[in-house]
Amino acid sequence: MGNCLKRSTTDDISLLRGSDSVRESSSEQLGPPNYQEPLPIQAASPVYHPSPSVTRSVAQLTEEEQVKIAKRIGLIQHLPTGLYDGCKKARECVICMVEFLVGDALRYLPCMHTYHMSCIDDWLMRSLTCPSCMEPVDAALLTSYETN
């Protein structure tokens, strides 16, 4: 036991020293570009798209954008989902261009267009419109509530 403890403390110190020197050298090399390249931010925290061409980490979002994205997530959760049952009306997801397979998770938009859930959710988080007919999903959802 004593041995183990002793060994682990020496290891800890060497690790700390090691990691310190790694951190220093990596920040020297990668410091400035980190702010420009989206990849390191993406690895650290999820990124959001207040509009399709804008990419931001949570920390970079303005309050207005945070509200916009929170509303968007709420709305997306209200859209019906299901598993593909082999129905012939919808055959292919136009986003990934792959045919639906029985058991695939789907999401149905109010305009009746159907996509893979993972594909359409990725798009809706950027823009609340149907990729096929460009109908705004939020407006269509409200009308469907009013008529029902």
Nearer to another protein, 57 or 132 (CB): 132
Q: Is 114 in the site for another protein (CB under 8 A)?
A: no
Q: Which residues contact 102 (CB under 8 A, 6 or more apart)?
A: 83, 84, 85, 86
C-beta of residue 99 within 8 angstroms of C-beta of residue 91: yes
Nearer to another protein, 34 or 132 (CB): 132
Q: Is 108 in the site for another protein (CB under 8 A)?
A: no
Q: Is 148 in the site for another protein (CB under 8 A)?
A: no
Nearer to another protein, 57 or 131 (CB): 131
Q: Please state, in angstroms and rounded to a whole number, the distance separating the CA atoms of residues 31 and 52.
A: 28
Among positions 46-75, residues that touch another protein (CB under 8 A) are 52-53
Q: Please state, in angstroms and rounded to a whole number, the distance separating the CA atoms of residues 100 and 93.
A: 7
**Amino acid type, 36:** Q
Write out the residues near another protein by the rule CB under 8 A.
Answer: 52-53, 94-98, 119, 122-123, 126, 129, 131-132, 134
